[in-house]
Structure formats: C-alpha cells, structure tokens
C-alpha cells in the first residue's frame, strides 16, 4: 500500500525536524508567545483541531478518486466518516446512487446517496436493516458496473449481518464484552469477522463481478486495510479458531450461540479468492498525516522541538500514560534550552474494572496527571479524532500542572476515579474535558505533551 511509504517518509522527516504538507494556522489562532499556561493549553487545542482538519474527507477524498466511468456507479460505505466521505464524493462527481451507514448524529446532506444512521459502538436494528439492504443492492450488479466503497472506523459496529444462529442481541452482548475486555482492536476485529456475513472481505465478494474501488480512512495502528472496519473489502486468512483464542486469552464471556457458531467455522473470504481480483483498497487518511500536520503547525508558530513517539501505539491506556510521564520527566531533567512537544497516535484500550464513565483518552490523561504528580511546566491533551472517547460524547481531556491541586480543592479523588474507570466524570468536574461534537472523520487517538524547560517556570 502507498500509505506504508508515506508513514515511513513522514516519520523520517519528523525525526529530522522537517514536515511535509504544512497547513497554515488560521489568523485568529496565531501564537506569538507560547509560555503562559493559558497559551500552552490553547496551543494544544489548536494542534488537535489541526489534526482533525487534516483528516477531513472534504480535503482528502477527491485526489484519490478513480476516473469517473460512463456506466453505472453504486456507492456503499460505513463508518463515522462515511457520510462526510459521501458528501465529498458528490461534491466532486455530482449526485450518485448509493447507501452509506454512519453513527447517529454523523449524517451529512447528500443529493442522492442515502445516509442511514445507526448505533455505535454497540450495533442496533437500524444498522442490521441497512446492511441487509446494502447487500441486496450489491447482488444486482454486473461486470460493467463500478462500486465505490467508503470505509472508515466504526464500520465494524455499523455493518451488522450476524452469521446463522447468532442474533442481534448476541452480537450486542459480544461487542459490549469485547470493548470491556481490554483486547487490542485488531484482536477484537478478528472475532467480529468470523461472526459476520459482511466483514472479512464478504462485502467485496457480494459486489462481484462488479469492479470495486474502496477509499478508506484509517483508525487502526499500522493502517492495515484488513483491520479498518474489520476489513469488509479485504480478504482474511485467519480462521474461526483464531477468534476463539481471542475470547479465551482475554476471558471474554459470550453467549453459547456465539461459541457454537465459531465451532462451525465462518464464511470470511480468503485473500486468494477470485472474487477479490477486481477490488482495490486505498487508504486516503491516516494518523501519521494528522500528526505531521500538527507538527508542521507548531514548528511554524512556536520555538520548540517536536518528537514523534509513535503513530501506531497500542496498549492499556494507564500503562502507556505512565511510560509517557516517565519520558516527559526524563526529557525535562536534561536542562532543556527550549520546549519539547511529544506527539503520538494509535489506539489505546481500557480494561473495565469499575462502573465509572471513561474512555481510553480520558483515562490516559488521568493516569498521566497522577504519574506527573503536578510536575511544573508539563501540559498534555489526549483526544479521539472522531470526537467520541469510549462511549461518551466527549473527545478527551487536557492536563496541566494544576490538575491535581484543583481536584483536591474540589474534593475529587483522581486515584479513585482511575480505579473506577471514571475519568470523564473527573475531568468534567474540573472543566477540562474537550468536547467537539461529531468531527465527521476518524484517525483515532491524538496525544500531545508540552514539556517546558524548568528554568522558564
């Protein structure tokens, strides 16, 4: 995939302090001096806004479209960015026939493409009904037709077609259990593929013999199309036994019907299946590009050093936070001559331990604040680029040296909040949540840590 070389190039340029594709900062966001706490927090917010804007399908999609054919074009898609992708497509090509499924609240106006809203992250009947209609639409195509697929993060929950013997209620229980298990997203998607009639290349197979050109926005570490939305347009070589192994490794309790279905195998489409010969998959937006845009912005407007910690980080949110806090303190202890900005992306997980309201980004921020222990001059922001951290309508949170002191003044216990997975409630009490509403894109986590020299504070 072309995106692999782009990731390597971007990482190399960041390491050298050079950035491709710098996006200008809006005039009202110009920062002549980044030294006061308010200015630093404002900068972190602007960097997140820049990262989200970089992944806007209106900016990314048109350049990746194939030549518009003279014959029939059918558009299908699913994900949190899919409605915006459909809007961008019709802006470029005019009215198109098709059906796209997105999250509630994420619909966009389209002339002919039908936009259906459904539940995420736990699927519902609206998603199941729309998926059946999508499969029926694809079943009527011939070799002269073109299918344009628009896939982004969230498609795993929005494309709902359980295998025989598994009900929607079973899928809902399974999704909830998987999300609470702490398993990495690629392992979760392995289970989803083998319990579906549409994931693991089966959507593409349904379109055969038509030609299929897919545009994907990556929300997975490594940007592998096979894991974006559980790979509905990409062949799969794992087997049902691999899905069972995931359930056992992460102690995921599932209905008996799910285990019975996995014992019977699955219908995922192998990578060598001839039905995939006319299928192309192109990643048009990925976390590295958003990190690159944020780095370009800060280097243009602030005298600092930018370091990329990684664009594909995985792991338990609180564990990664502790590691990043240790790194930040180590960097600050080296007698810095100017600030250092640490940027990272990827997708962290949370193992459900308590009954609180939280998400990976807020839990990372809370654990980071505890590990930093009010260290002077260190600020951070952790947000999901889709505007939804966990199941809450909150993107994430910001942390500054006063976080723990303000919490103590309010009588809010950060350690107890972390133990209960209640990070959103904690940051709501402090007024430090980041709330964006639907961003209409999704390139997953964005994290930024600003480390000021000790002497300047």
Residue 360 pLDDT:
97
Report whether pLDDT(368) > 50: yes
Grouping H, G, I as helix, E, B as strand and the rest as coil, residue 403 is helix
Average pLDDT over residues 326-341: 95
93 burial (CB, 10 Å; 0-12 / 13-18 / 19+) is middle
Q: Which of 34 and 453 is assigned the larger pLDDT?
A: 453
Residues of the chain with CATH 3.40.1480.10: 2-56+287-456
Q: What is the pLDDT of residues 111-122, one digit of tens each?
A: 999 999 999 988
CATH number of 2-56+287-456: 3.40.1480.10
Report whether pLDDT(58) > 90: yes
Report whether pLDDT(413) > 90: yes
Q: Tell me the two tokens of residue 367.
A: 């654990």
Are 360 and 317 in contact by the 8 Å Cβ rule? The answer is: yes
Q: What is the dihedral of CA 382, 390, 387, 299, to 10 degrees?
A: 20
Q: Tell me the two tokens of residue 99.
A: 């059906």
Q: Tell me the two tokens of residue 295.
A: 């780095």
Report whether pLDDT(455) > 70: no
| Best CATH choice for the domain 61-270 from the list 3.40.50.10180, 3.40.50.300, 3.40.50.720, 3.40.1370.10 | 3.40.50.10180
Beta-strand pair 73-78/97-103: parallel
Q: What is the pLDDT of residues 9-34, one digit of tens each?
A: 344 344 433 333 333 334 344 344 56
Q: Which of 4 and 254 is assigned the larger pLDDT?
A: 254
For tokens 């990827």, the residue is: 346
Question: From CA 341, how far away is CA 440, in angstroms rounded?
Answer: 27
Q: What is the pLDDT of residues 242-296, one digit of tens each?
A: 999 999 999 999 989 999 999 998 999 999 999 999 999 999 999 999 999 999 9
Residues 6+ positions from 277 with CB-CB distance below 8 Å: none
Residue 185 pLDDT:
84
Residue 33 pLDDT:
59
Question: From CA 332, how far away is CA 120, in angstroms rounded?
Answer: 40
Q: What's the whole-model pTM score?
A: 0.89
Residue 12 pLDDT:
38
Report whether pLDDT(297) > 70: yes
Residues of the chain with CATH 3.40.50.10180: 61-270
The secondary element (H helix, E strand) that includes residue 216 is: strand 211-217
Residue whose C-alpha is closest to residue 93's, from 115, 117, 112 = 112
23 alpha-carbon distance from chain centroid: 21
286 alpha-carbon distance from chain centroid: 9
Question: From CA 299, how far away is CA 38, in angstroms rounded?
Answer: 19
Q: What is the pLDDT of residues 34-54, one digit of tens each?
A: 679 999 999 999 999 999 999
Average model confidence (pLDDT) for the chain? 91
Q: What is the pLDDT of residues 84-113, one digit of tens each?
A: 999 999 999 999 999 999 999 999 999 999
Confidence band for 335, pLDDT divided at 50, 70 and 90: confident
């Amino acid at each position: 995939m072309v995106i692999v070389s782009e990731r390597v190039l971007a990482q190399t340029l960041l390491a050298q302090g050079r950035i491709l594709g710098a996006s200008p900062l809006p005039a009202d966001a110009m920062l002549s001096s980044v030294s006061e706490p308010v200015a630093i927090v404002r900068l972190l917010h602007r960097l997140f806004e820049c990262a989200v804007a970089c992944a806007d399908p209106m900016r990314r999609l048109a350049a990746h479209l194939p030549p518009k054919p003279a014959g029939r074009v059918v558009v299908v898609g699913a994900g949190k960015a899919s409605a915006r992708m459909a809007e961008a497509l019709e802006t470029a090509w005019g009215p198109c026939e098709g059906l796209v499924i997105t999250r509630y609240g994420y619909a966009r106006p389209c002339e002919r493409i039908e936009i259906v809203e459904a539940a995420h992250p736990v699927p519902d009947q609206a998603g199941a009904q729309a998926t059946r209609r999508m499969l029926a639409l694809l079943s009527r195509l011939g070799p002269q037709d073109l299918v344009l697929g628009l896939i982004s993060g969230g498609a795993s929950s929005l494309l709902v077609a359980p295998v025989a013997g598994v009900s929607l209620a079973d899928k809902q229980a399974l999704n909830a259990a998987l999300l609470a298990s702490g398993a990495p997203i690629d392992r979760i998607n392995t289970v989803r593929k083998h319990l579906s009639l549409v994931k693991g290349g089966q959507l593409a197979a349904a379109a055969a013999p038509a030609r299929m050109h897919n545009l994907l926005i990556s929300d997975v570490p490594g940007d592998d199309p096979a894991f974006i939305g559980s790979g509905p347009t990409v062949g799969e070589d794992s087997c049902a036994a691999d899905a069972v192994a995931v359930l056992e490794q992460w102690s995921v309790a599932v209905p008996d019907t799910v285990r019975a279905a996995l014992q019977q195998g699955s219908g995922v489409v192998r990578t060598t299946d001839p039905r995939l010969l006319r299928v192309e998959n192109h990643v048009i937006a990925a976390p590295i590009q958003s990190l690159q845009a944020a780095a370009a912005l800060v280097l243009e407007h602030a005298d600092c050093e930018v370091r990329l910690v990684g664009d594909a980080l995985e792991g338990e949110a609180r564990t990664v936070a502790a590691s990043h806090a240790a790194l930040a303190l180590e960097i600050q202890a080296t007698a810095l001559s100017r600030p250092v900005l640490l940027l990272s992306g990827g997708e962290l997980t949370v193992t459900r331990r308590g009954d609180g309201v939280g998400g990976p980004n807020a839990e990372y921020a809370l654990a980071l604040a505890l590990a930093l222990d009010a260290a002077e001059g260190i600020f951070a922001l952790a947000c999901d680029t889709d505007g939804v951290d966990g199941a809450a309508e909150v993107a994430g949170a910001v942390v500054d040296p006063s976080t723990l002191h303000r919490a103590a003044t309010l009588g809010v216990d950060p350690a107890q909040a972390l133990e209960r997975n209640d990070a959103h409630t904690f940051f709501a009490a402090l007024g430090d949540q980041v709330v964006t509403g639907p961003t209409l894109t999704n390139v997953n986590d964005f994290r930024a840590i600003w480390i000021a020299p000790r002497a300047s504070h």
